């Protein structure tokens, strides 16, 4: 029979380090968080070979005396939890595992000097063993140097990635922590190069724009809203300012950077009808709520959290983002595409020789006439003229005095029966008529089913019986009243079945069994029936697409102006339901540059 024994302390530390120190970026995160918790106003980070060779973090925080330094290197010893109320923790660290875990898998040099002390102290721990200690010369604060990570654990060392990959992960860690604390100055050096330099005392908007992308300042909206004891702040990029990956979504809970599926899903839900499926929003959100309503003691890495009322948190984020984006409704990504602008500034290419049929001499390079279309004639061998222009302009009228009140200007013409050209007080506006009307129709449909009304439903001739497990039925029954407001009427039908009496009118032809199973799964994951609302949103978006003004339809000047005025009154009219911009503006300065006036 195998004998039970206590593991040696060095092995215990290495096992704990496997949870805390996964790669250099994990150790860097813990060290920078310690510096922030120490009250630092300046934090300097230095990396060599992406952190594989050395990581050094220097701060001007409170510092430690020799006795405190000795305790700091012991497991589960911390100054950040003065009592046993772990649910009230207000610091980034609180477990007391970081320093001993890092010291057990690397060579760690810890130097610190409290304010008012004559000199500092240094302790060097090499893979769990104390090898050196003594006085050290340094200003008040703490300096921690980590070297030779996993040097004596080759099984862990071989799983580390290249210098470039590890550096990218370290840079992401510093960026996230720097955004969380705009009152702290940060510098980051990689080798001999200064990568990041951030001044203290910046606003959240300034810090986010400097860290994420400077274009975000002109293509984002600022959030600051509260509900009960929750508060949501930050910067959210316009839907037309998006990326192909979700790496530029920064989420924080009580100042702690997190990567939480619930929060990520809430962001995706908020942008659901404003982004294409393969595009992702750019944003930084800061959620603050009472400590007892969130559990940060889920994982040693502290990147996952659990909410007491996850449905309320998700609903708050979705509604908050939608409300903030509606304040920037008529905005889209402000600058026209650079490549498109470049093509305006070059000489037009010489026309290529026409492609003619050897059988009938027909010019296939020209637009072909359709039945009933008198705008273009059939081009035979005797017709060598150019195709008729596809633009249509009306007689220009003086710009009205109230044009300043119309950000999208006054319609001047239509190009290719698709794009409206308008003159604004400060430039030239080009509008995609189908994309613009698509957004207008969707907002009208959505307004018809606001929270103050009950969505239309379609009663089933024969109610459907959907068999589910008892737990799923319990969840669905608990949300029956909420479903009824959305047009879905269900009731309990025995221990393990639900009866569907009516379906939402917007979901005509939907399979009730598939719908209820999806809802049950969604309730199990998120605790709220948001999936049904998202399904209805998707159907409304499809209806809006098919019910709006199509590209290729000629519009009169009155119709074009009416569309522009409706856009100015409609929330989120800067982008269509698929995330594409509905309009772009060329300022008068841009127009003058095209003609060499400036």
CB 403 within 8 A of CB 424: yes
**% of the chain residues with pLDDT over 70:** 76
CA distance 77 to 95: 8
Q: What are phi and psi of 197, to 5 degrees?
A: -145, 110
CA proximity to 493, closest of 504, 477, 506, 509: 477
Give the right CATH number for 404-598 from 3.30.1540.20, 3.40.50.300, 3.40.190.80, 1.10.760.10.
Answer: 3.30.1540.20
DSSP single-letter state for residue 356:
B
Q: What is the pLDDT of residues 265-308, one digit of tens each?
A: 889 888 877 877 678 899 999 999 998 888 887 766 667 788 98
**Are the C-beta atoms of residues 313 and 251 closer than 8 Å to each other?**
no
Whether 9-81+94-198 shares its CATH topology with 204-327 is answered: no
CA distances from 253 to 227, 233, 263, 303, 370 (A): 15, 11, 10, 10, 60
Query: How do 497-504 and 457-467 pair as beta strands?
Result: antiparallel
CA dist 269 and 530 (Å) reads: 9
Which of 166-170, 327-331, 410-414, 465-469 shows the lowest per-residue confidence on average (mean pLDDT)?
A: 327-331
Per-residue pLDDT averaged across 425-448, rounded? Answer: 80
What does the pLDDT read at residue 372?
42
Q: Which of 198, 181, 195, 185 is nearest to 43 (CA)?
A: 185
**CB contact at 8 A, 476 and 499:** no
3-state SS assignment for residue 287: strand
Question: What are the residue ranges spanned by the domains of the chain?
Answer: 9-81+94-198, 204-327, 404-598
- Rounded distance between C-alpha atoms, residue 582 and residue 297, angstroms: 45
3 state SS for 551-582: CCCCCCHHHHHHHHHHHHHCCCCCECCCCCEC
Measured in degrees and rounded to the nearest 5, phi and psi for residue 321 equal -65, -45
The more confidently predicted of residues 403 and 272 is 272
How far is it, in rounded angstroms, from Cα 464 to Cα 286? 44
Question: Would you tell me which CATH number, out of the four given (3.30.230.10, 3.40.50.2000, 3.10.20.30, 3.40.50.300), belongs to the domain 204-327?
Answer: 3.30.230.10
pLDDT digits (tens, 9 = 90+) for 523-538: 776 555 455 555 566 5
pLDDT tens string 347-399? 444 444 444 444 444 444 444 444 444 444 334 444 444 445 556 665 655 65
3-state secondary structure of 181: coil
Average pLDDT in the chain: 80
Architecture category of domain 9-81+94-198 in CATH:
2-Layer Sandwich (3.30)
* Secondary structure element (H or E) that encloses residue 159, with its range: none
Instruction: Calculate mean pLDDT across residues 167-183.
Output: 93
Q: What is the largest CA-CA distance in the chain?
A: 102
Residue 64's pLDDT is what? 94
Identify the pLDDT of residue 404.
54
pTM of the model: 0.68
Please give the pLDDT value at position 347. Answer: 45
Burial 277-311 (b: 16+ CB within 10 A, else e): eebbbbbbbbbebeeebbebeeebebbebebebbb
| Band of pLDDT at residue 65, cut at 50, 70 and 90 | very high
Confidence of residue 250 (pLDDT cuts 50, 70, 90): very high
Q: 45-70 burial, b if ≥16 CB within 10 A, otherwise e?
A: bbbbbbbbebbbbbbbbbbbebeebb
Give CA–CA dist 598/594, Å, rounded.
9
């Amino acid at each position: 029979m195998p004998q039970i024994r206590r593991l040696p302390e060095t092995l215990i530390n290495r096992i704990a380090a496997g949870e805390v120190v996964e790669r250099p970026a994990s150790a860097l995160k813990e060290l920078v968080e310690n510096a922030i918790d120490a009250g630092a106003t300046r934090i300097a980070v230095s990396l060599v070979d992406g952190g594989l060779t050395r990581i050094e973090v220097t701060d001007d925080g409170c510092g430690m005396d020799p006795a405190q330094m000795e305790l700091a290197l012991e497991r589960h010893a911390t100054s950040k939890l003065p009592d046993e109320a772990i649910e009230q923790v207000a610091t980034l660290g609180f477990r007391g595992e970081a320093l001993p875990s890092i010291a057990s898998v690397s060579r760690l040099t810890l130097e610190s000097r409290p304010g008012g002390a004559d000199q500092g102290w240094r302790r060097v721990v090499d893979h769990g063993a104390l090898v050196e200690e003594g006085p050290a010369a340094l200003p008040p604060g703490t300096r921690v140097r980590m070297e030779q990570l996993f040097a004596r654990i080759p099984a862990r060392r071989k799983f580390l990635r290249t210098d470039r990959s590890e550096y990218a992960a370290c840079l992401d860690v510093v960026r996230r922590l720097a955004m969380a604390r705009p009152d702290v100055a940060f510098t980051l050096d990689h080798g001999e190069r200064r990568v990041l330099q951030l001044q203290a005392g910046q606003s959240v908007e300034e810090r986010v724009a400097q860290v994420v992308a400077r274009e975000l300042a002109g293509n984002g909206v600022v959030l600051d809203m509260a509900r009960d004891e929750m508060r949501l702040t930050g910067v959210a990029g316009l839907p037309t300012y998006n990326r192909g990956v979700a790496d530029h979504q920064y989420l924080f809970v009580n100042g702690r950077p997190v990567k939480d599926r619930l929060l990520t899903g809430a962001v995706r839900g908020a942008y659901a009808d404003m982004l294409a499926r393969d595009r992702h929003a750019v944003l930084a959100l800061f959620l603050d709520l009472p400590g007892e309503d969130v559990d940060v003691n889920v994982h040693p890495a502290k990147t996952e959290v659990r909410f007491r009322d996850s449905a309320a948190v998700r609903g708050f984020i979705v509604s908050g983002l939608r409300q903030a984006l509606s304040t920037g409704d008529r905005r889209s990504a402000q600058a026209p595409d650079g490549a498109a602008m470049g093509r305006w500034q070059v000489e037009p290419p010489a026309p290529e020789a026409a492609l003619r049929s050897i059988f009938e001499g027909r010019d296939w390079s020209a637009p072909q006439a359709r039945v009933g279309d008198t705008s273009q004639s059939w081009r035979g061998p005797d017709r060598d003229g150019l195709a008729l222009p596809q633009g249509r302009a009306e007689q220009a009228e003086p710009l009205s005095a109230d044009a300043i009140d119309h950000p999208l200007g006054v319609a001047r013409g239509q190009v290719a029966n698709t794009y409206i050209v308008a003159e604004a007080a400060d430039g030239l506006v080009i509008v995609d008529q189908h994309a613009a009307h698509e957004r207008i129709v969707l907002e009208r449909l959505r307004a018809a089913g606001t929270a103050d009304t009950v969505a239309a439903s379609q009663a089933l001739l024969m109610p459907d019986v959907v068999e589910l497990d008892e737990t799923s039925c319990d969840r669905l029954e608990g949300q029956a009243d909420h479903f009824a407001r959305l047009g879905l009427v269900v009731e309990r039908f025995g221990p393990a079945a639900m009866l569907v009496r009516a379906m939402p009118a917007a979901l005509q032809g939907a399979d009730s069994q598939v719908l209820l199973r999806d809802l049950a799964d969604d309730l199990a994951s998120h605790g709220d029936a948001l999936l049904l609302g998202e399904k209805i949103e998707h159907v409304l978006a499809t209806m809006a697409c098919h019910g709006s003004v199509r590209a290729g339809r000629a519009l009169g000047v009155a119709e074009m102006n009416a569309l522009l005025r409706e856009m100015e009154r409609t929330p989120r009219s800067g982008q269509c339901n698929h995330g594409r911009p509905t309009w772009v503006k060329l300022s008068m300065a841009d127009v003058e540059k095209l003609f060499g006036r400036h």
